[in-house]
A and B are shown apart, each in its own frame.
Chain A
């Protein structure tokens, strides 16, 4: 049972355009969401997060939108740059004490930004 789903395995975008990566979740207890970026042969690195009490969080070129009623979040990258080419993982957590730090990850979307 995949609680966090990224239905697009790959996405190709032209440099300078917007990249939109999508993520759906099924567990209504999730209250914190994160995006991680992963380059080949490296570990994932934290990119941006959003609490369920918000519907938008922005950090430079990266914006995450949360639609709780649809159980959907998206990551927007504007403008996209070749260095953004990586695998992006969506992750979710229920931040109650007895859940610990148990992130649930999606399958990942490989973004390719063409010059």
Chain B
């Protein structure tokens, strides 16, 4: 049982390049999330998917797109990377969202640098 896995672990991009961050969970969770962590800012929600087939914007969605490919996988795409997107990105999953809060389980993170 691997929990939440993320690929790649590290990535360096040039401004304007695109890339997709991959996330998968094997806990049969319904909800999945993408966060970014910046110094002094904590973790900020980019997008989330409450259930398979649905996605919604979080606090900082600009410059990103997401795809909930199936129940296990939730990808984050940067279409045209900018230096402001240099950050550590975390994927998380939880049993379900909505009527009550439940624990979110996080992956190990992807450290992205945009030059």
Interface residues of A (CB under 8 A from B): 4, 6, 9, 31-32, 34, 36, 41-46, 49, 89, 91, 93, 95-108
> Number of B residues whose C-beta is below 8 Å from A?
32
In the complex the two chains form, is A101's CB within 8 Å of B4's CB?
no
Contacts A106-B42, A107-B42 given: A44-B90 contact, CB under 8 Å? Answer: yes
In the complex the two chains form, is B109's CB within 8 Å of A41's CB?
yes
Measured CA separation A42–B6 after assembly (Å): 11
A94 smallest CB distance to B (angstroms): 9
In the complex the two chains form, is B42's CB within 8 Å of A89's CB?
yes
Instruction: Tell me if B8 is interfacial: C-beta within 8 Å of chain A.
Output: no
* A46 contact from B31, B40, B104, Cβ within 8 A: B104
Task: List, in ascending order, chain B residues with CB within 8 A of A9's CB.
Answer: 40
In the complex the two chains form, is A100's CB within 8 Å of B101's CB?
no
Measured CA separation A41–B106 after assembly (Å): 12
In the complex the two chains form, is B31's CB within 8 Å of A100's CB?
yes
Instruction: Tell me if B44 is interfacial: C-beta within 8 Å of chain A.
Output: yes
Task: List, in ascending order, chain B residues with CB within 8 A of A31's CB.
Answer: 101
Task: List, in ascending order, chain B residues with CB within 8 A of A99's CB.
Answer: 98
* A101 contact from B43, B104, B109, Cβ within 8 A: B104
Measured CA separation A111–B29 after assembly (Å): 31
Measured CA separation A45–B97 after assembly (Å): 18
In the complex the two chains form, is A107's CB within 8 Å of B41's CB?
yes
Q: With A89-B42, A101-B102, A105-B42 given, can you name 13 additional A-B contacts, CB distance below 8 Å?
A: A43-B106, A44-B43, A46-B105, A95-B98, A95-B100, A100-B31, A100-B48, A100-B50, A100-B98, A102-B45, A102-B59, A102-B97, A104-B45
Measured CA separation A43–B88 after assembly (Å): 10
* B107 contact from A43, A93, A98, Cβ within 8 A: A43
User: Can you identify 20 A-B contacts, CB atoms within 8 angstroms?
Assistant: A6-B42, A9-B40, A42-B108, A43-B107, A43-B108, A46-B105, A95-B99, A97-B98, A98-B98, A99-B98, A100-B56, A101-B96, A101-B98, A101-B101, A102-B58, A103-B101, A104-B45, A104-B59, A105-B44, A108-B42
